[in-house]
Amino acid sequence: MNMQYSVEKADEIYAVAKEAYFYAYPLVSMDMTMRQVTNVPDAASVNMRAPINQFAHVRSYPQADDKDVVRFNFDTLYSFAWLDLSQEPIMLSVPDTQGRYYLLPMLDMWTDVFTVVGSRTTGTKAGTYAIVSTGWNGKLPEGITPIVAPTPTLWILGRTQTNGQSDYANVHKVQDGYKLTPLSQWGKDYTPPTNVPTDPTIDNTTSPQIQVNKLDGVTMLTRLADLMVKHPPHPNDYPILFRLKRFGVEPGKPFDAKSLDPETIAIINKAAQDALAELPAAMRKAGAFINGWNIGTENMGTYGTSYKRRAFVALAGLGCNLPEDAVYPTAFVDGEGNPLSGANKYVLHFEKGQTPPANAFWSITMYDKDGFQVPNPINRFAIGSYDKLTFNADGSLDIYVQAESPGKDQETNWLPAPKGPFEPSMRLYSPRPEVLDLTWAPPPFQKVS
């Protein structure tokens, strides 16, 4: 190391560079994801992908052996849309869902949920909203509610309640009622464009996460600086922006990585490697641990200046909900602290009146150690309040979690497990206050002989 680099200076550069990596990771991940999933000619060409300003609808649950998406949701069908507001506002229309639960959270490019259209917030009647960029001051049609987006690009990650495969047709009608219309086309017979030009230089096959994780620290800073030209930081980010100036990174200004000396570049790249390596462990330590469940309700969906938390949530899976909309406790161990394994049999016992308190509905989904659904003879990947569960005579409820059938008389309450390690997730939609303040928690997995 050059003699001018004291240990103190190197440590300071390393600390700022690591924080910068956490800060940049969600924004760069969102941009990489947006570029890939919108790089298609039309909404029907590739599942879960659509051109900008168009919805892509997931029409069915994955098959047992499908490994395209980790920790897939078996309670709702997704509707995705990436919006570009740089030219004009986009009108969002939603249908009357006839009381059916739905959720259309909108995320800015920093992954913060800035508003939610859906059952909890706007009800289930039909409605129209104008999504406008910050600073836009044009005229909207009379009676239209404006939604101001913090960044000109945003992501709608919609979910519509689905009560099993027999409910698909009903859900598809709701999905088809989600409409996006440019303001200039409002009131006209608008059809979303097809044969949209695509960019052949974009890698459409390698997952965005893998692509982002391969970027070195200096490249991340370069991407960060480029993206901040279009997507302004949050107002409370000024302390980290001040620290980033030492590397020449400032919002709205070009960044020249060549201005950095070799020693600084080496430290920045080492800090980035270490920062990425820290994220999985940080994710597992976050949240409250009760009865073997990891319950995350604090700083989720919006993160303030908790940049490391925002980064590990982006690594785990973009699109985290606000806790008021959904909470996803995940279990890794049983009530005695031992890792969950299909080599054992377990019971989840809910006392009378203590089933998951959700205003909409709840479920428990089984995943193997890699986050995929588990093939089983009854083709059941989740169990929940929408099922015809059998309660005990005293009003309590037992869910049987094991690899083999507990017997025909108990299969209504059976959540099949793999033969090896597993990591199930509970989902509570529109959770009640006792979930959010942790006065209620799921019961432990009790191993039975």
Residue with tokens 């200096």: 218
Predicted confidence band of residue 4 (pLDDT cuts 50, 70, 90): low
CA distances in angstroms from 192 to 58, 132, 180, 189, 195, listed in the order given: 18, 19, 8, 10, 10
Q: Do the domains 288-448 and 7-30+206-276 match in fold?
A: no
Average model confidence (pLDDT) across the chain: 95
Q: pTM here?
A: 0.93
User: Long-range CB contacts (< 8 A, 24+ apart) of 232-239?
Assistant: 232/134, 232/150, 232/151, 233/110, 234/110, 234/112, 234/150, 236/304, 236/305, 237/23, 237/305, 239/305
As a whole number, mean pLDDT of residues 269-296 equals: 93
Q: Cβ(94)–Cβ(178) under 8 Å? A: yes
Measured CA to CA, the distance from residue 193 to residue 69 in angstroms comes to 28
pLDDT in tens, 191-250: 999 999 999 999 999 999 999 999 999 999 999 999 999 999 999 999 999 999 999 999
Domain 40-185 has CATH 2.60.40.1610: yes
| pLDDT surpasses 90 at 342 | yes
Q: What is the CATH T-level fold of the domain 288-448, as seen in this structure?
A: Jelly Rolls (2.60.120)
Helix spans in 232-343 (H): 238-244, 262-285, 307-316
Query: Which pLDDT value is given to residue 296?
Result: 86
| pLDDT surpasses 70 at 1 | no
Query: Which pLDDT value is given to residue 178?
Result: 99
Query: Which pLDDT value is given to residue 284?
Result: 81
The domain locations on the chain are: 7-30+206-276, 40-185, 288-448
Measured CA to CA, the distance from residue 256 to residue 340 in angstroms comes to 50
As a whole number, mean pLDDT of residues 156-179 equals: 97
Query: Which pLDDT value is given to residue 65?
Result: 84
Predicted confidence band of residue 3 (pLDDT cuts 50, 70, 90): very low
Query: Which pLDDT value is given to residue 5?
Result: 62
b/e sequence 137-163, b meaning 16+ C-beta within 10 Å: eeebeeeeeebebbbbbbbbbbbbbbb
Query: Which pLDDT value is given to residue 253?
Result: 87
Predicted confidence band of residue 287 (pLDDT cuts 50, 70, 90): confident
Taking phi first (over 0 means left), then psi (-120 to 50 degrees means alpha), and beta for anything else, what does residue 54 get? Answer: beta
Measured CA to CA, the distance from residue 169 to residue 125 in angstroms comes to 19
Q: Cβ(99)–Cβ(115) under 8 Å? A: no
Query: Which pLDDT value is given to residue 149?
Result: 98
Domain 7-30+206-276 has CATH 2.60.40.10: no
